[in-house]
Amino acid sequence: MDIDQSQESPNTFRPQYLQFPSFDGNKGKYRIWKRRMVAALNLQHCTKLVDMIPALQIALVEEANEGVGQDLEKLEEKPGATTKEVWEILDKRFEDPFHRARASEKLENVRQRGRTLDDYIAEYGDLLQQAGGEDYHEDVKIRGLMRGLDDDL
C-alpha cells in the first residue's frame, strides 16, 4: 500500500461545519470572546485572512455583524490586508474603554474571601482578560493573583 505524500492544504481536512464561539456585540464580553475566538481560529488552522473573515462572520450574530460586516468584506478585497487589521476593526467597534477601566479597578480589588481557589482564579482570569492584562508581565500577573489569596493557604 502506497502512502500519498502530496502536499495538501490543512484546509482540506477541515470539517464542513466549524465551531466558533458566537458573539452578540456585548462590549463587556468582547475581550473574553476575542480570546476564545483566537484559540478557535488557531485550533482550526484559520490563520489566513481568507479563512479568518468567513469564520468571524459565522461567529458574529446578526446584530454584531451589521456594524462590521461591510468593513470586513472591504478588507478581504484589499490587497496586502492582514489579520491584525481585522482585529483592529473589531477592537474599534466592540472594545469599551470604560468597561476595561472598570475591569482594571475590579482586578485591583478582587479577593478570594473564602471561595474555592478555582473560583477565585477563574474570576481573576476573566477580569485580567477584560482589563487587557494579557499584555502584563508574568510577574505582575502572579503578584496580583497572590495579593488576593486568603492567608490560610
Give the pLDDT band of residue 17 (cuts 50, 70, 90).
low
Question: Cα separation of 54 and 96, whole Å?
Answer: 24
pLDDT band at 1 (very low <50, low <70, confident <90, very high): very low
* Same structural domain, 52 and 102: no
Q: How many domains does the chain have?
A: 2
Instruction: Determine contact, residues 130/31, Cβ cutoff 8 Å.
Output: yes
Per-residue pLDDT at 4: 40
Q: How many other CB atoms are found less than 10 A from the CB of residue 97?
A: 9
* CA 65 to chain CA mean position, Å: 16
Identity of the amino acid at 90 = L
Smallest CA-to-CA distance from 148 within 41, 125, 84 is with 125
- CA angle (54, 38, 66) in 5-degree steps: 45
Mean pLDDT of all residues in 25-36: 88
48 and 71 belong to one structural domain: yes
Domain range for 78 is 23-94
Task: Verify that 73 and 125 share a domain, yes or no.
Answer: no
Domain membership of residue 153 (yes or no) is no
Contact by Cβ (8 Å): 73, 65 = no
Whole-angstrom distance, CA of residue 80 vs CA of residue 118: 44
Which residues are paired to 46 by β-bridges? none
Predicted local distance difference test score (pLDDT) of residue 41: 93
Residues 61 and 113 grouped into a single domain: no
Residue of 64, 50, 56 whose CA lies nearest to 93: 64
Kindly state whether residues 84 and 133 are assigned to the same domain: no
